[in-house]
Structure 1
């Protein structure tokens, strides 16, 4: 498992993590292959979730693919059309306030979107663990005013760690998660 940045190292000590977040943590540090080649691991994710016919190379936006694979591995349902980030606004149930492990859906550009998992927040941004953030599975800060949906996975028993997390406002704000 790739090490997290020091500001997020606490995630490796916190147990139990929400299952989707636990699965996402295992994938932290996976990156696209530069140029015309694709990372075979990302293409394997497409096979794992039944999207091998529609997802052919890692140059295609893959935040929704990342969410599909962590949802599947975390025992949660995958939304219909998971490659379209905004479709994740139908995942689980709506929540008023984000907490650890929730899916966050953001608007990006003209009609497109981004999706990832909440790991915390500061006064103006959510800290998001997601795929296709700077071409990899990373944690980035995304302005709260871009969030269009907070969606909570269905739990049989809510993990004790599934709570809001306040973090320092360090690092730049992402403006385009590709």
Structure 2
């Protein structure tokens, strides 16, 4: 009986579409345009930190993940910690809504994939030029895709 219940639960989980990542993209888009200085009070209340003084891409992702019922990584404020979020996905199979970790020089950045072309990933995230916005990153900068 336990085996049947387990198999039924597994089937339902696999057959049901995973909408949490589409929801993450949708939630992130609601914050588009908010700037770390101009909208400091609103962002500070949502993120729990002062975005004008703290790197906040990971904090933004933590907010979005929690909003859709996902558990962010333990040190979610650090972009590199998102390398351990969810399950890994090959870049060739990335979908809008997947979490993308990119490397720019010696630092990391995390955001949500909005679109992927042959040469670039369009990512929405926080702390992109001081605001929540869409930015482009070379596919070569992508170090991880997580779902």
TM-score normalised per structure 2: 0.79
> Which has the larger helix fraction?
2
In structure 2, distance between residues paired with 1:41 and 1:29:
12
Please tell me whether residue 106 in structure 1 is matched to residue 106 in structure 2: no
Please tell me whether residue 131 in structure 1 is matched to residue 143 in structure 2: no
In structure 2, distance between residues paired with 1:135 and 1:57:
8
In structure 1, distance between residues paired with 2:78 and 2:72:
12
2:36, 2:51 within 8 Å by CA — same for their partners in 1? no
1:42, 1:58 within 8 Å by CA — same for their partners in 2? no
* Structure ID, larger Rg: 2
In structure 2, the residue matched to 1:42 is: 43
1:33, 1:39 within 8 Å by CA — same for their partners in 2? yes
Please tell me whether residue 145 in structure 1 is matched to residue 140 in structure 2: yes
Change (3 A) 1:82 1:66: same
In structure 2, the residue matched to 1:163 is: none
In structure 2, distance between residues paired with 1:66 and 1:17:
15
Change (3 A) 1:104 1:39: same
For structure 2, list consecutive stretches of 5 or more residues without a partner in the other structure: 1-18
For structure 1, list consecutive stretches of 5 or more residues without a partner in the other structure: 1-14, 48-54, 153-178
In structure 2, distance between residues paired with 1:16 and 1:62:
22
Change (3 A) 1:16 1:86: closer
Runs of 4+ in 1 over 3 A off after TM superposition: none
Alpha-carbon shift at residue 127 of structure 1 (Å): 0.3
Summarize deviations over 1:59-118 as a string: whole Å, max 9, x none. Answer: 2111001100010101111111111101001111001121010000011222x2000000
